[in-house]
């Protein structure tokens, strides 16, 4: 089972393609963006096919797409031609109920569908060090795990379809919340004459240390918002998904909703294409540097 279709060849898809090819897989890639396609073509991916023709050729179909509605449209097309007992692995972050609906559609066609959202960002995709949170049938998880080892070695089976997405949405809400707190505290510290670099170094050596500081810290400190590690608009999308899911469970989030509103405001201020760290830019615009 060495043929793979990759639908979505952006910053994440590019690294995924690279490591699959390096592991001996034949990769058929599709993306409507010619620039994205040219990148994976240079890596050795086969391009030029449509979604339906790719789906009919492969054992694994991997998707890395920006929105739930796009994902469902792509899978609907793919299921028309996919072989029975093949796999669809969704590596994006998407709506839990949409995931469950697609799982059922795939099952009806004899295709195994797994939600496999990732943590690690474009750097993790490039380096083959992604963490996977997998939801779906446990029956064929061993085959999925063996495949995912080409892309990372931290692979967790969470539970039934949608479970991987639940963990990823919770993870991203925590990341966003910490990013907001880091941004606010750095604004306050700098105003009081404490350099952010010094505060971050002390945090990293103490109980305030966290992975968000290690990943996004430089961008927050130096306001390097054009160095896009994770696009702010994608984070805003994930936060909205988290809150929608929370409310569907009968839980009314408080802090999570405030964080989501901040990110939505940043998108509305034309900061969506910037890095996640640009939430600091919004905070400074809203309240100004302290005087």
Same domain, 16 and 130: yes
> What pLDDT does residue 73 have?
97
Would you place residue 286 in the very low, low, confident or very high pLDDT band (cuts 50, 70, 90)? confident
Q: Which of 99, 125, 159 is the last residue of a domain?
A: 159
Same domain, 37 and 145: yes
The string of DSSP codes covering 229-289 is SSBHHHHHHHHHHHHHHHHHTT---SHHHHHHHHHHHHHHTT-TTSBGGGHHHHHHHHH-S
Same domain, 243 and 259: yes
Q: d(Cα 62, Cα 276) in Å, to the nearest integer?
A: 25
Same domain, 199 and 270: yes
Q: For residue range 252-276, list pLDDT tens digits in order.
A: 999 999 999 999 999 999 999 999 9
Same domain, 57 and 180: no
Q: d(Cα 2, Cα 13) in Å, to the nearest integer?
A: 18
Question: Cα dist. 260→64, 186, 189 in Å?
Answer: 23, 20, 24
CA 269 to chain centre: 23
- Specify the number of domains making up the chain: 2
Q: For residue range 114-147, list pLDDT tens digits in order.
A: 999 999 888 899 999 999 999 999 999 999 999 9
Mean pLDDT lowest for which of 62-66, 67-71, 287-291? Answer: 287-291
Query: Are 212 and 247 spatial neighbours (Cβ–Cβ below 8 Å)?
Result: no
Q: For residue range 223-237, list pLDDT tens digits in order.
A: 999 999 999 999 999
State the residue range of the domain holding 86. Answer: 3-159
Same domain, 16 and 126: yes
Q: For residue range 165-218, list pLDDT tens digits in order.
A: 999 999 999 999 999 999 999 999 999 999 999 999 999 999 999 999 999 999
Same domain, 68 and 204: no
Q: What's 63's domain CATH number?
A: 3.40.50.720
Q: What's 238's domain CATH number?
A: 1.10.1040.10
> What pLDDT does residue 290 have?
43
The angle subtended at Cα 189 by Cα 186 and Cα 190, nearest 5°, is 85
Q: Which of 159, 179, 214 is the last residue of a domain?
A: 159
Query: Are 262 and 276 spatial neighbours (Cβ–Cβ below 8 Å)?
Result: no
Same domain, 16 and 121: yes
Q: Which of 159, 176, 209 is the last residue of a domain?
A: 159
Mean of all residue pLDDT scores within the chain: 95
Q: d(Cα 265, Cα 136) in Å, to the nearest integer?
A: 35
Same domain, 112 and 213: no
Q: What is the pTM of this model?
A: 0.93
Q: d(Cα 9, Cα 268) in Å, to the nearest integer?
A: 26
> What pLDDT does residue 288 have?
64
């Amino acid at each position: 089972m060495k043929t793979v279709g990759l639908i979505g060849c952006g910053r994440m898809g590019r690294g995924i393609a690279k490591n699959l090819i390096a592991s001996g897989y034949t990769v058929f890639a599709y993306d409507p963006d010619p620039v994205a396609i040219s990148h994976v073509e240079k890596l050795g991916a086969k391009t030029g096919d449509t979604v339906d023709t790719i789906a009919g050729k492969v054992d694994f179909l991997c998707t890395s797409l920006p929105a739930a509605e796009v994902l469902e449209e792509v899978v609907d097309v793919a299921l028309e031609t996919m072989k029975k007992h093949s796999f669809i692995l969704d590596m994006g972050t998407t709506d839990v109920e949409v995931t469950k609906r697609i799982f059922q559609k795939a099952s009806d066609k004899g295709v195994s569908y797994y939600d496999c959202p990732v943590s690690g960002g474009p750097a993790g995709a490039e380096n083959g060090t992604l963490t996977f949170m997998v939801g779906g049938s446990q029956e064929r998880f061993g085959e999925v795990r063996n495949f995912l080892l080409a892309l990372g070695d931290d692979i967790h089976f969470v539970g039934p379809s949608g479970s991987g997405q639940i963990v990823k949405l919770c993870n991203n809400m925590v990341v966003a919340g910490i990013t907001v707190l880091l941004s606010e505290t750095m604004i306050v510290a700098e105003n009081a004459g404490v350099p952010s670099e010094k505060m971050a170094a002390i945090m990293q050596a103490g109980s305030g240390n966290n992975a968000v500081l290690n990943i996004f810290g430089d961008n927050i400190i130096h306001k390097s918002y054009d160095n896009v590690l994770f696009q702010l608009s994608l984070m805003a999308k994930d936060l909205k998904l988290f809150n929608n899911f929370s409310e569907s469970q009968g839980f009314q989030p408080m802090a999570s909703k405030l964080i989501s509103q901040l990110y939505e405001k940043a998108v509305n201020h034309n900061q969506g294409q910037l890095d996640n760290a640009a939430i600091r830019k919004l905070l400074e615009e809203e309240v100004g540097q302290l005087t």
